[in-house]
Homo-oligomer: A and B are copies of this chain.
């Protein structure tokens, strides 16, 4: 890792992604712990509004943000319904980043996207707060690990290497003879329903393809919201490069009832 030389060039960055909300003191406590250990590091909020204990949503939202950060960034993700029980903690290292969080699948998209992942089970109490609580490992285990990583501690110091992290199996696309079946994997603030069907998958289908969502058939895929009149639904490729259903100037969630988990069927054979 070139982290030490990076750290010489500029202060480290630690991002936080949690389901803690911001109405309590939990996020502030985590920031304090990171800064107390790591000194002049920059702590950046990705979001703290992951729906409580929703590991799948956390994984999805995190993966839309983390790849944009500079090399050397340390990403902490805490969506942790199993806190205090036997689930492991992880410290993961890839070519560009380190990641810290519970081993519950929240890093699934990282493991799918990053070629070289090394990871350890976060076990060494030397790098935890004394008196680790049974309910707040964000403050007592994961924030300290991020702080010590900033300080130059290598991942092997945190525990033994492991190769069997928990993987979520929720973003797979089902392939059948004449169709691909994906689903809505996220509904964003604007009510856009974001699917897991990539532009490549959709564009590889034959010309006569149609897309079916909630019983409604779409023949065209537009470029942007304004390509249809105000209030009309449309399909487009969103900022993640996947098929989205939107309403121009409105909300597909409110007006069409689009929800996470809804099936999205692409009907038409591959070229």
Contact = CB atoms under 8 A, between A and B. Distances in A.
Contacts of A29: 64-65, 68, 239
B189 A24 contact: yes
A25 interface: yes
Interface stretch (A77-85, A99-107, A175-183): A77-85
Interface string A34-48: 011001101111111
Interface in A250-264: none
B84 A226 contact: yes
Contact of A239 (B65, B133, B239): B133
B134 A25 contact: no
A43 B40 contact: no
Given A225-B135, A226-B85, A47 B24 contact: yes
Interface stretch (A7-15, A111-119, A149-157): A7-15
B32 A69 contact: yes
Contact of A40 (B11, B20, B23, B226): B11
A220 interface: no
Number of copies: 3
Nearest to A239: B136
A133 to B, nearest CB: 4
Interface string A219-254: 000011110000000001111010010000100000
Interface in A23-63: 23-33, 35-36, 39-40, 42-50, 52-53, 61-63
Contacts of A3: none
Given A42-B42, A236-B134, A28 B17 contact: yes
Contacts of A68: 28-33, 36, 139
Interface in A69-109: 69-70, 73, 81-85
18 contacts: A11-B40, A23-B47, A23-B49, A24-B61, A24-B188, A25-B63, A25-B64, A26-B64, A29-B65, A35-B44, A35-B70, A36-B70, A42-B42, A83-B225, A84-B225, A85-B225, A133-B241, A135-B224
Given A35-B42, A84-B226, 15 more contacts: A23-B47, A24-B64, A25-B64, A27-B45, A27-B46, A28-B45, A28-B66, A31-B65, A32-B65, A32-B67, A83-B224, A85-B226, A134-B236, A135-B225, A136-B239
